[in-house]
Each structure stands twice: as C-alpha cells, then as structure tokens.
Amino acid sequence: MSMITTPIDDGAIDGLSEGLRGEVFLPGDFGYDDARAIWNGMIDRRPALIVRAMGVSDVIAAVTFAREHDMLLAIHGAGHNIAGNAVCDDGLMLDLSAMRSVRVDPAERTARVEPGATLADFDHKTQAFGLATPLGINSTTGVAGLTLGGGFGWITRNYGLTVDNLRSVDIVTADGELRHASEDENPDLFWAVRGGGGNFGVVTSFEFALHEVGPEVLAGMIVYRGADAPDVLRHVRDFNEDTPDEATVWVVLRKAPPLPFLPETIHGDDVIVVVPFYAGDVAEGEEVLAPVREYGEPIADTVSPRQYTAFQQAFDPLLTEGARNYWKSHNFSEIPDEAIDTVVAYARDLPSPLSEIFFGQLGGAMGRVPADATAYPHRDAEYAMNVHTRWEDPAMDDECITWSREFFDAMAPYATVGVYVNFISEDEGEENLGYGVNYERLTEIKARYDPENLFRMNQNVEPAKTR
C-alpha cells in the first residue's frame, strides 16, 4: 500500500499538538526550517508537519496520527543518514533529536540510550567509567540509525558490530504499541532490528553491553604522498592479514586537508592516510603497530597515546553538516593488486577537494558471528569501502555523482555481493545487497509488524505477500 499525502484538517493537527509534551512545527513556523535541515546538504524536503517528540507517548501519538491519516512517515534520529530518509516531502517527520538520554550502569556494564543521542553523547557518559561499545567513527553520528543498520567502529574487531552488543530495545510498532524486544521477548523482532534498519518501528530505547576501553588508546594518522599509495596500500593490506583483534588499520585516499600537522606546501595535494588504532595495552600496541609506522617515508606520523573520546572526534572537522554528499560502497573479503591499482587511478582523479575513498578494516570478532544470527548478514567482509563524494557547489552535482558511480562500477569485480546498508545513498536496488541472505526472513517479519509498510522511509524491506 502506498502512503497518501492528503491535506490534514487543522483541527486534527491541533488535537495532536494538545496531546504532546513536545512541539509541532508547520511550514512557516519559527523553527520549521531548522528542524527539517539534516547533515547532508543535498536533501531539501518539506514535511507537512514535524513532531518533535519528548518521550514515548509522543512517539506513539505521532505514529498513530501518521497511520490514521495515511501520511508518509519519516523518522529523524540525529539526521546523519546519507540518504536523507530522516525527512520527507508532504508527510509527517517524527523528530527524536530531543530524546538523547544515556544512562550507564557501570556495575552491569550496560547503557540505555534514547534514539536522539549521538556518539558524542554516548562516549561522554560511558567513558566516565572507562567503558565503550563499537559505535562509528564520527561523534555527530546518531546512535539509533547507526545501530539499526548494523554499526561498526574502531573496536569492532575486538567486540563485534554494534548490533552484536545490543541486548534489548523498546520499540513502537506500526500499530502504535510499545513492545520490548530481546532474545527472550519478541525474539523475531529483536533479530530484525539488528541490521534491518528502521523498517520495523521506532526504537525509543536501546540497551547495550559495554566493555573496558580506554580512557587511553594508541591511535593517530600516518600521512604519505599520493605517489606512495600503491606501495602503502599493499603494505597495509599484507600487515592486516595477521593482526590481533585489538589492532585496526584503516586507509583514506584524498587531497591533503589544511591540518596543523601537515606542511602547507602539500595542502591540496594527493595523500594517502593510514589510520592505526590499538584498543589494548599501549606498550603492546606500540610493538604490534611498529611495522606500519616504520614503513616508507611518511610526511607526518601523529600516532600516540590519546583519549578514546578525543579520537572518536578526530575526523569531525572533515565531516561537518551542510555540504553535499553522495556515497557508494562495497564490501571486500580481500583486496587484490588489481583492485589497488583501480583505487589509486581513481584517487588521482577525485572530483572535489573534500571527496575521499576509505577502507575500514573489519573482520575479527565480527566475522566469527554466523550470517543469520542477526539481520546484518555480511560477516565475511574484511573491509568496507566508502566512496565518499563531498562538495559544496550544486553545479558540481552531476560531475561528482557520475564519478562516484563509475568508480563503484570499476570496483565491483573485486567486491563481495553485499554492501553496508548505512552507506547506501539512494534507492537503486541496493537494498537486497544490504540485507543479503536475510532479506526473505526480513520480509516475513515486516509483514507481521508493519503489513502496510508505514515505515518505508528507509532502505526499505517490503512486507511479504500473504494469501
């Protein structure tokens, strides 16, 4: 059933507003434009109304209102999703950004997190007790969207995906009911939200398991000239084949940004940035990462003991909101020499100074979980590649998007048949690749909890047809 965007009677909106703790914004209201703005500057949509929820009762009211009035419904957590699904034209946007509580139980090593919280909110509370869970690499990212798509970060090789550390959720389903889901209660729903995206309802509380991490870790950046990229990529690939779970090494190819530790003479030049991270004893980490740090002739090496929370924010200046962004992504079980040659060739022709190609190392604990244990299926991925095209001038849209698609196609022969669902920019048939072997089961669970596909502003799973 397609959702209909029909005019809503003012009295109905007044009735909705009167029953909320939060606010309702209509077009023309003060605050409306700020509320509909999200991280990706390419997205410019105008909802018919925006509900800023302050708690579970507001979420129930908004979901019920959208269902009863056949309205397209978009769910906004922190608004960081690349595809812009947090906001819709003409429908109802449910804004959860004011619900950002994080409550830590240090004795049980768990955290309960509301859906508007960012990684910075989470890290601030958990690191007060020297605890963490795998959660992304950019502190402005929302916990909710990242988790529902699977989620990975610097400590994924130690402790698995974000969803591998999820213990339970409270979720408002399409019928307006609040349900608790865990391994013991509504287990099918709990399975589905661990990688199935926002297809099954609005999660109002996440419960995570925490681990001892930090407060100090060994991490930083090693920067080489772009001409060294072929050799550096091969060296890192070979090094990563036999590293302990505590070690993670990512690679970024881009133009040199004006960072203070880089000579001005190379700002804007092609560089390859190696990003080692060690979540364990710092002295042991120095020994483990030595082969990476001693390789070649880097321009700069900033690897040192540092606060975990600080490193979680290290890339924030390169990922500020408002720029135009378009992503393409592949997973890889290995990176052959031919793939490296292709990467290097395209990296020399980046369409804008803000664009980059990165390879995030995965494997470790993540890969030791069966593909059907959670909705996230891509347990064979050793790397996730994100083609992160980023620019500011709308006149460059076609050039940047075309380059990204061409590079994506050129890398396809070396990739697995799968993609990290949170990196999908648009509906291009990639949803099945995102959900892989688990897609059919997801459609069946979707039919049970959202048969009319109310929650469709996402990388959508359509409900299975029932006879």
Give me the mean pLDDT over the 398-414 stretch. Answer: 96
Per-residue pLDDT, 3: 42
DSSP letter at 448? H
112 within some domain: yes
Alpha-carbon distances of 271 from 33, 138, 249, 295, rounded to whole Å? 38, 21, 16, 15
Over 80: is that where the pLDDT of 5 sits?
Answer: no
* Residues contacting residue 327 through CB under 8 Å, at least 6 positions apart: 82, 386, 387, 388, 389, 404, 423, 424, 425
Residues 277 and 387 in one domain: yes
Q: Higher-confidence residue: 4 or 349?
A: 349
Q: Evaluate whether residue 3 is within a structural domain.
A: no
Answer whether residue 232 shows pLDDT above 90: yes
**In this structure, what CATH number is given to the domain that contains residue 304?**
3.40.462.20
Indicate whether 287 and 312 sit together in one domain. yes
Domain membership of residue 457 (yes or no) is no
- Structural domain harbouring 49: 10-95
Let me know if residue 429 belongs to a domain. Answer: no
Q: In this structure, are 76 and 134 located in the same domain?
A: no
Domain holding 178: CATH number?
3.30.465.10
Q: Looking at 348-453, which runs of residues are DSSP E strands?
A: 356-361, 383-391
> Does one domain contain both 419 and 337?
yes
Could you tell me if 53 and 150 lie in one domain? no
Q: Which of 38, 66, 95 is the last residue of a domain?
A: 95
Biggest CA–CA distance in the chain, Å, is: 69
Q: How confident is the model at residue 284 (pLDDT cuts 50, 70, 90)?
A: very high
Q: Say if residue 247 is in the same domain as residue 374.
A: yes
Give the pLDDT of residue 7: 59
Split at pLDDT 50, 70, 90, the class of 333 is very high
Reported confidence tier of residue 214, pLDDT bands at 50, 70, 90: confident
At which of 35, 64, 95 does a domain end? Answer: 95
Question: Taking CA 358 as the corner, what is the angle to CA 142 and CA 379, rounded to the nearest 5 degrees?
Answer: 70
Domain's final residue, options 63, 95, 127: 95
For residues 65 and 190, membership in a common domain is answered with no
Find, among 450, 443, 464, the residue nearest to 171 by Cα. 450
256, 360: one domain? yes
1 occurs within a structural domain: no
Residue 11 confidence (pLDDT): 83
Number of domains in the chain: 3
Tell me, yes or no, whether 25 lies in a domain. Answer: yes
- Model confidence pLDDT, tens digit, residues 134-161: 999 999 999 999 999 999 999 999 999 9
DSSP state of 118: B
60 located within any domain: yes
What global pTM score does this model have? 0.94
Residues 140 and 268 in one domain: no
How far, CA to CA in Å, does 136 sit from each of 19, 220, 318, 329, 361? Answer: 36, 16, 15, 16, 13
pLDDT attached to residue 466: 64
Report, as an integer, the average pLDDT of 446-450. 97
- DSSP letter string over 76-101? ESSS--TT-TT--SSSEEEE-TT---
pLDDT of residue 417: 86
Q: Are residues 317 and 443 in the same domain?
A: no
Provide the pLDDT for residue 465. 85
Q: Are residues 24 and 73 in the same domain?
A: yes
Q: Are residues 195 and 316 both part of a single domain?
A: no
Q: Strand 131-132 to strand 166-172: parallel, antiparallel, or no bridges (unpaired)?
A: unpaired
Out of 94-108, 225-239, 300-314, 427-441, pick the least confident: 427-441
Mean of the per-residue pLDDT values of the chain:
94
Q: What is the CATH number of the domain that holds 58?
A: 3.30.43.10
- Is 77 a member of any domain? yes
